[in-house]
Amino acid sequence: MADPEISEAEQFIGDDDDFHSKNKDKPLYNMLTRKNLGMYLQFVFFGIGSVLPIFVIFAAVDYFDDIFPRKQPEFALNVIYNPLLFCGCFVNLVWGRAASFKWRIVSGFSVMIVCMLGFILLDQLELCGSTCLTSHYWSVLFVAGVLGLADAVCQSTLFGLTTHALPPLYTQGLMLGVGLCGLLMTILRVLTKTTTKNLHISSYYYFGTAAMFIVVVIAVYFRLSRGNAFQRYYSQAPRSGVDTDWKHPFQRFAFFTGEALRVLRYKHVFCHCFLLTLVTAQQYVVIPSVATMAIDFLGSGWFPVLLILVYNIGDVLGRGPLAMYYVYSLHWAWLSTLVRFFVVVGICLSVPPHVMSDRPAWMATFVAILGLSTGHLSTSLISHASSEVPGRAKETVGYLSVLSMTLGMAGGSAASYCIKALLDRTA
């Protein structure tokens, strides 16, 4: 039987030749071997856990609509969650780097667990008529805000870690996990919609499952961080003494803001971050808000749910097989992003009473194309964003990439309500 320490060391040796490679002429699949498959799957696992809270909130939208029927909870949760997600990423970029990767990742996941259980506790207090809970609605928004901050710290730190110390294969693993999380939560929504009519019980499935899953994620991360393969990658990553030299918060703000601006002066990095913002905004402009306005051809709210499932399947295929096998090109990324505007317009025209709203195939096709292209573009862009910058700047590129995506989320969500209002007026 092989020594576990030798096996872990082989994970490092197996893809060491690609560690500092800037060559994008071969697909990421060439980096994946049987020796490093275990470590790769662990990062897929972390990717699922890093975005689980936001997908849980989206999956439980029926529950929030039921308990707050006149307050537009989906809009309020987006207004609270997305800006705080962006702010949390910025704070982590500027001030969070004083703490270790492990501390930020574990503490972020731990706060997520508390928030997931907090939603269940708030619901129980409301059902029991507790006088301690003066406003269920505002309490839910507060927990969602804390969740957004924790998610931002955890997610941006994970991407900062992979771009700083690991080959792009593991960044792609994180992105694949993000897509799988959306698909799994949509499937869970379908199952709960068919098995229970009690939305309170359904929400407990969402929040309870998420909390237990994140506990497992923390345990897996501790195991990974003690492994020889991870330690050898991390020990060879470039080091900077800035974190110990700058003690005052304003000194850190000035230094790291300046560093981020210097990194953005690389044309390669700026293009990748700009495209990440644009691709994410295109997604959130129409998913899920505008897509749910389609005619419910199946009844009982099933068609919008299945549209989201179609999007998630396309997204996973784009982040997984397509991003792994297709050789990435920045020129094609620009062209694909521009073509996607026609896809967004097509989704809007598939909403009644517009020309393509009478056939469900139009909306399903456009949504599938958007999902496939979003998964592939976002994964390729973030995996290769740091390939042409010096070693010490790679971590900053990881934070800037996540910051770009959260900016796209906030901008796209805001634009979606304007587009939705415009479509309502033309109905």
- Rounded Cα distance between 365 and 46, Å, is 30
Q: 270 vs 74, 83, 255, 287, 309, CA distance in Å?
A: 32, 22, 19, 26, 32
| pLDDT one-digit tens code per residue, 324-355 | 998 778 899 999 999 999 999 999 888 888 77
Cβ count near 46 (within 10 Å):
26
- Rounded Cα distance between 159 and 146, Å, is 20
Q: Which of 325, 324, 317 is nearest to 369 (CA)?
A: 317
Name which of 40-44, 97-101, 124-128, 257-261 the model is least confident about.
Answer: 124-128
Q: 17 vs 7, 24, 45, 161, 381, CA distance in Å?
A: 17, 14, 25, 19, 22
Q: Are 54 and 284 in contact (CB under 8 A)?
A: no
- Rounded Cα distance between 400 and 423, Å, is 34
Task: List the structure tokens of 254.
Answer: 């000035």
Task: List the structure tokens of 406.
Answer: 């959260």
Task: List the structure tokens of 204.
Answer: 């407990």
Give the chain's mean pLDDT: 82
DSSP state of 15: T
Instruction: Give the per-residue pLDDT at 328.
Output: 73
Q: Is the pLDDT of residue 239 over 70?
A: no
Residues 6+ apart with CB under 8 A from 12: 36, 228, 229, 232, 233
| pLDDT one-digit tens code per residue, 53-101 | 888 887 777 788 778 877 777 777 877 888 888 889 888 888 887 788 8
Residues 6+ apart with CB under 8 A from 408: 276, 277, 278, 279, 280, 281, 282, 283, 284
Cβ count near 194 (within 10 Å):
9
| pLDDT one-digit tens code per residue, 131-170 | 454 577 888 889 999 999 999 999 999 998 998 888 889 9
**pTM assigned to the model:** 0.85
